[in-house]
Amino acid sequence: MQNKLKTTLLILLAVLVLVIILSCCIGAVSISFANLSSMVAYQTGLSKIINFTLQQQAVLLALRLPRVFLGVLIGAGLGISGAAMQGLFRNPLAEPGLIGIQSGAALFAVMMIVLEVKLFAQLTGLLGYYALAIAAFAGACLSTFLVYRLAIQNGKTVITTLLLAGIAINALAGSFTGLLTYMATDAQLRSITFWSLGSLGGASWQTLGCLFPFIAIPVFVLPFFAKALNAIALGEAQASHLGINVGFTKKIIIVLATMAVGASVAVAGIIGFIGLIIPHILRMACGADNKIIMPASAILGAAVLTLADLVSRTIVAPTELPIGIITALIGTPVFIYIINSQRKKNYQ
Amino acid sequence: MINVKNISYQIGKKHLLQNISFSVKSGQMLAIIGANGAGKSTLLKILCQDLSPTTGQVFINNKASNDYSQSELAKLRAVLAQHNTLSMQFTVKELVTMGRYPHFKHRPQPNDVAIINQAMQETGVLEFACRNYNTLSGGEQQRVQLARVLAQIYDSPNAFLLLDEPTNGLDLLYQQQILNTARKMANKGFGVVCILHDINLASAYADKILILKNGRNIAFGSPSEVVNCENIHQAFNINVQLMPYEGFNCPLVVPSFLNV
């Protein structure tokens, strides 16, 4: 079992490194692998030979690397949150959006874009470029908190009520977002569309620095709940008979998933499907044990999102396609294939 | 020893259990019988701390059950619930390993692995250790769940096994296999509490029988003391006949079909 864990993670890490190298090399300014290795050697002081142009160096350091790492961070956050949510909801079709994280973030972001009222203008003056991200994160936290409060009965969170409350809040947030979209001007509509389809275009070292703790903490803490989530697959009562503190597990997982997904949405807009599909694919390949699924979802999520971003910025160069389109476009056929093969397997 | 003292449980004005008292010693097997809705499952839920009684207390090894922490309890009693659905596709071995969760932090120790194998052997599920749990038949799944709860308390002295209708929906052979395993655990020194529907199985396997009716205890004692026509009629509202059975100190209960 321990060997299986190590091999799986090593293979996935190798894939991730490969994708990172590819993403660094391919783009409007082409950087060959030789150029890249020379730059790495030069920057780390291993070699004094310069086998690259200054333009290549500038593009890599200022544009491409931050963007690649943003993809890695967000992909990891979405992947592991999806795995944790599916475990918590005891449903392989659950995803972070179920508890209102994304719809709340979308509502607040659209509010910022459309209602250019005084308060928001002041907020923008105060926080500058980050105002939209902070508003989106606040929206994510608020809607999740609301869903969570609604689901508490006699001091306990009931998972089915959590699901229903999530649907209700999602619908409410969606209708307000729709109302605001209806009121929006053409220019505003364009930025709303772009935001709601997701993009890693806003990547800079500064955004990376801000985002890092919001992703790093969930990615390193969530795997410690693998045992608890495995036991919850038996049922909540059964898990508590095994000594698992189910209430505490629920709270922590919801907080950590909101942290990772809320911050991701704030920085890059809504990127669907990663949280749903990645854990699913991994479960088909290496079983349901969350000790493997959780860290593996983070790594594979990072690799897939980075790859999707590579496609999104090269396929219609010099402009770029929103990444949400790419993930759904690739994700849906894969998902249908999975459902189909699962059905065949069940018949056998 | 599990000591149940004057337990009552009510929801609103409805009394589900009233003044139930009994005890189960280590090495004993207690069967709880009664009609549907008599309060059997509620009683078991109170025994495993899913519910707390409105009044009264449960003592486990002379300590009130709510003075134990959740992880202490997990090493002291294992529970086989009536309905076991699994939301993800775990293998049999992974599922039985979950029974050892209270005993290891991150990965199973050699002792845990040995116990997991032993439990799978005793319940006869070792041969499909690597199969997907969801592809097994109902009887096989139940034995896998039994292996999981056995593994949980296997090396805990004075521990208890609580089984909620473990033979439900199983054919005769599986019923016997499950109860044989439970009986063996009692013979090893564990206390076993088991909800059963079949009175004859209860008197064949259990040391003590508790008969519930509308949340009240109408009889508690050894099978030969409590299994009689009056008690059964009172509990289940049917007329029965007792038939002596050779080599068996408690008579068989057979429903009288004559008064249909």
In a domain? residue A4: no
The most confident of the ranges A12-26, A140-154, A180-194 is A12-26
Total count of domains within chain A: 1
Cis before A318? omega within 30? yes
Among residues A189, A252, A245, A264, the alpha carbon closest in space to that of A220 is found at A252
User: What does each C-alpha distance from A327 to A87, A170, A269, A335 come to in angstroms?
Assistant: 22, 21, 13, 11
What is the pTM assigned to this prediction? 0.88
Is A338 domain-assigned?
yes
Q: Enumerate residues 251 to 290 of chain A having a beta carbon within 8 A of any beta carbon in chain B.
A: 283, 287-289
| DSSP conformational letter for A59 | I
- Report whether pLDDT(B160) > 80: yes
Strand partners for B79: B162
Q: Does A58 map to a domain? A: no
Answer whether B110 touches A (CB < 8 Å): no
Angle subtended at Cα B131 by Cα B129 and Cα B134, rounded to the nearest 5 degrees: 120
ipTM of the complex: 0.90
Taking residues A266-285, what's their average pLDDT? Answer: 87
Beginning with the edge strand found earlier in the chain, give each strand of the sheet holding B208-213 in spatial order.
Answer: B77-80, B160-164, B191-195, B29-34, B208-213, B216-221
Query: Which residues fall within 8 angstroms of residue B89, CB to CB, at 6 or more apart?
Result: A283, A287, A288, B132, B133, B134
- Least Cα distance to B213 among B40, B52, B85, B67 occurs for B40
User: What domain range includes position A286?
Assistant: 66-347
pLDDT at B84: 83
Are the Cβ atoms of B73 and A2 closer than 8 angstroms? no
- CATH number of domain containing A196: 1.10.3470.10
Query: Per-residue pLDDT averaged across B158-173, rounded?
Result: 90
- Structure-token pair, residue B167: 């033979």
pLDDT band at B187 (very low <50, low <70, confident <90, very high): very high
Overall average pLDDT of the B14-29 stretch: 92
pLDDT tens-digit readout, A208-257: 888 899 999 999 999 999 999 999 999 889 999 999 999 899 889 988 99
**Interface touch A92/B87, C-beta < 8 Å:** yes
Beta bridge partners, B58, equal: B4
User: Whose CA is closest to A239, among A51, A62, A76, A90?
Assistant: A90
Q: A320 touching B, CB under 8 A?
A: no
Classify B171 as helix, strand or coil: coil
Contact check, Cβ <8 Å, A242/B48: no
pLDDT of A298 reads: 96
The pLDDT value given to residue A318: 81
Q: Per the domain annotation, does A30 fall within a domain?
A: no
- Predicted local distance difference test score (pLDDT) of residue A89: 85
Which residue in B257, B135, B102 sits closest to A347, CA to CA?
Answer: B135
Res A348: pLDDT = 53
Question: Could you give the CA distance from residue B67 to residue B155 in angstroms, rounded to a whole number?
Answer: 22
Q: Does A186 fall in a domain?
A: yes
B16-19 own/partner pairs: CB under 8 Å, 24+ apart: B16/B42, B16/B215, B17/B42, B17/B43, B17/B46, B17/B53, B17/B215, B18/B215, B18/B216, B19/B56, B19/B216, B19/B217
Q: A27-77: per-residue pLDDT in tens?
A: 888 888 888 888 888 888 877 778 888 888 888 888 899 999 999 999 999
Place A128 in a pLDDT band, splitting at 50, 70 and 90: low
Say yes or no to pLDDT of A308 above 70. yes
* pLDDT bucket at B157, cuts 50 / 70 / 90: confident
Task: Using an 8 Å CB-CB cutoff, list chain A residues near B86.
Answer: 233-234
The reply to whether A113 falls in a domain is yes
Residue A129 lies in a domain: yes
pLDDT at B192 over 90: yes
pLDDT at A281 (0 to 100): 87
What does DSSP say about strands B208-213 and B216-221: parallel, antiparallel, or unpaired?
Answer: antiparallel
Res. A138: pLDDT tops 60: yes
Tell me if A41 is assigned to some domain: no
Pair of tokens at residue B99: 């029974």
Determine how many CB atoms are found less than 10 A away from the CB of residue A319: 7
Percent of chain A with pLDDT over 70: 94
Rounded (to 5) percent helix, strand, coil in chain B: 35, 25, 35
